[in-house]
Structure 1
């Protein structure tokens, strides 16, 4: 099983699929905003920013997935982005179930001064709505639940890759003997 995991981690297919997944998830957010006219709340905007880590991690690892440094950097970015995504998604879910009266539902994003996504790309990262319940669900799950699920899956996969990373080093060392 570990060999199979390492095979995926060291191949380009997984990382290319991660980039595609990130683009699709960003596209879904934009479709909800512009296609369905659902204004994004601050949590939606933060989640979009964290989905960008899927794209960045995939691109970095795609540089050379057989190289430990590039691969591990991709795994760490994927893990950290997914972990922070879980935290934001939990907050989003709490605000969603409280009809927007949660502590994190602000009308203004609070990105760091050196990374003002809401000013640089307002069409994508500027919150224009409140955290209110939407009349939208898919297979019985609402939007914040799907977002939470996506970040949980990302965290699990990234953690599995990171935990099995030492086995890749052992296999590489054994090849030289």
Structure 2
């Protein structure tokens, strides 16, 4: 017996991936604007990764390639975006697991962009030198970066399943 998800088209599966990314970004923005949770630099990079992944999902859903090679190409790009998000979220979780005061994120991202080159900004943010170690929000015992990590892994699996399964 087949389920709806196994019978769902590539377009529908990628559109659902897009909706998940859009929902996660919308919730992060809601928490920022409504509850006053200011994102750190690693949070910003996680949002960029969710936006990139969502864009890949949306483009794949709109295009809806018929050939397996086209679906696999979208799947590969989605997996790359997911892996970027996994690496940033994983780093953020690691930073939060360190003793208080041992790590931070550094200067605001806008200041770093004005004073450094792109790769220097990326390197600086990934070394976690500001408030990335603070845990301001939890759900079921997991911090927001931990939930981001969970979602990046789930969306990577979803993209891989949608793109590489036999039809």
TM-score bracket, normalised by the shorter chain, equals: 0.7 to 0.9
1:126 corresponding residue in structure 2: none
Give me the whole-angstrom Cα distance separating, in 2, the residues matched to 1:2 and 1:158: 19
The structure showing larger relative contact order (alpha-carbon pairs under 8 Å, at least 6 residues apart) is 2
Give me the whole-angstrom Cα distance separating, in 1, the residues matched to 2:44 and 2:56: 19
Choose 52-61 or 142-151, whichever is displaced more.
Answer: 52-61
Backbone CA RMSD of aligned residues: 3.1
1:67 corresponding residue in structure 2: 66
Structure 2 unaligned segments of length 5 or more: list them: 122-129
Q: TM (normalized to structure 1)?
A: 0.69
The structure-2 alpha-carbon separation of the partners of 1:22 and 1:45, relative to structure 1 and needing over 3 Å to count, comes to: same
1:21 corresponding residue in structure 2: 20
Give me the whole-angstrom Cα distance separating, in 1, the residues matched to 2:86 and 2:140: 21
The offset of 1:67, in angstroms, is 2.5
Q: Secondary structure at the match of 1:106?
A: coil
Q: TM (normalized to structure 2)?
A: 0.73
Q: For this pair of structures, how many residues does the alignment match?
A: 151
Give me the whole-angstrom Cα distance separating, in 1, the residues matched to 2:5 and 2:79: 16
1:80 corresponding residue in structure 2: 80
Q: Secondary structure at the match of 1:158?
A: helix
The offset of 1:32, in angstroms, is 2.0
